[in-house]
Structure 1
Amino acid sequence: MAASVLAQYQRITRWPAGHWLFSRAVCLKAPYFASISPRIETLEPNRCVATIRHRRKVTNHIGTVHAIALCNLAELTAGLMTDASLPASMRWIPKGMTVEYVKKAVGKMCATALPAQRLVESDQGYEWPVDVTVTDPGDQVVFRARISMWLSPRA
């Protein structure tokens, strides 16, 4: 059986350049996330923090970080946090996302994903909301998302 994403994170990030290496491994597993070049800063049960640099490939026509790059960052952090929090008997998939663009996103973006309610192990599927907040270098909120994860027992 493959090691959990949390166990992989804990093992790899002890190495020099481990955060960079883990972030690249995540992008190999889910290639679309490579489009924003994320860096996973923290991963633990009920919390994930990741950053993206404001570079040309994530910039829109007005010079700010593109809205969809922020959505991509939110989905990445929410998914990793969910995966790191679930018992081995359960699985997840994103079901929906509601977003709010609070202000122009300029500079390095930092996303933090936290559960909106307590996780319960269940033999039935259910929705589990995850809140993601993205801040700029001045620690000002630029973006918020609530991602609805569908949790269900492994078949």
Structure 2
Amino acid sequence: MSTLKNSMCRMVDKTAALPAGLRSWAITKMFGKFVPFLGTAGLVFEEVSRERMVVSVKNRKKVQNHIHGLHAAAMALLAETATGFVVGMNVPDDKLMLLKSMKVSYFKRAQGSMKAVATLNAEQVGRMQLEEKGDVLVEVLVTDESGEAPIACEMVWAWVPKKRKEG
């Protein structure tokens, strides 16, 4: 895998010396500056790397539905955030990343707090760094406190040059 690091990756590297709990807090605050809504929803970045992103959300009043479970939109946000930030750790600084499609299927009622684990393989990371533009289906598993997956998600992220070619 390439060792090219973008600005997001370099920012995360600066937290490497912090204890795990403090590192998670610092990264959550930094990423919240990129996307302020993450703080509003109370998402927490538990694990951050170029190949794996773990994001969680507690089942609390701000993100609940009418039956006191995690709201469907909060579950989708969890998956979108985990997949988006793992892609964001790999897309070069001269590229713009965009969510191309999001499919969320709800199978059963979620139990308590939830966690999303998004992963990329070496081939996907390499494509992001080498191809001018493209897209990738990012694998994500969203589970609740019981360890079950009440939803299944398909998140496709695209990357394009920040500057359009003239002509």
TM superposition score normalised by structure 2? 0.81
State whether residues 111 and 146 of structure 2, in contact with CA within 8 Å, keep that contact through their aligned partners in structure 1: no
Residue correspondence of structure 1 range 1-155 to structure 2 within 5 A: 4-12=7-15, 14-16=17-19, 17-115=22-120, 118-119=123-124, 120=127, 121-123=130-132, 125-155=133-163
Distance 1:29 1:94 in 2: 15
The worse-fitting range, judged by mean Cα deviation, of 109-118 and 72-81 is: 109-118
Distance 1:51 1:10 in 2: 21
Distance 2:95 2:151 in 1: 29
Q: Deviations over 1:4-53 (max 9, x none)?
A: 22222232253242211210221122111222211111111121111111
State whether residues 70 and 113 of structure 2, in contact with CA within 8 Å, keep that contact through their aligned partners in structure 1: no
Q: Which runs of 5+ in 1 are unaligned?
A: none
State whether residues 5 and 84 of structure 1, in contact with CA within 8 Å, keep that contact through their aligned partners in structure 2: yes
Distance 2:9 2:91 in 1: 10
How many residues are matched? 152
State whether residues 114 and 131 of structure 1, in contact with CA within 8 Å, keep that contact through their aligned partners in structure 2: yes
Q: Which runs of 5+ in 2 are unaligned?
A: 1-5
Q: Deviations over 1:94-117 (max 9, x none)?
A: 112011112212212110112389
User: In the alignment, residue 84 of structure 2 is paired with which amino acid?
Assistant: G
Query: What's the CA shift for 1:64?
Result: 0.9
Distance 1:69 1:61 in 2: 13
TM superposition score normalised by structure 1? 0.86
Residue identity over aligned pairs, in percent, reads 24
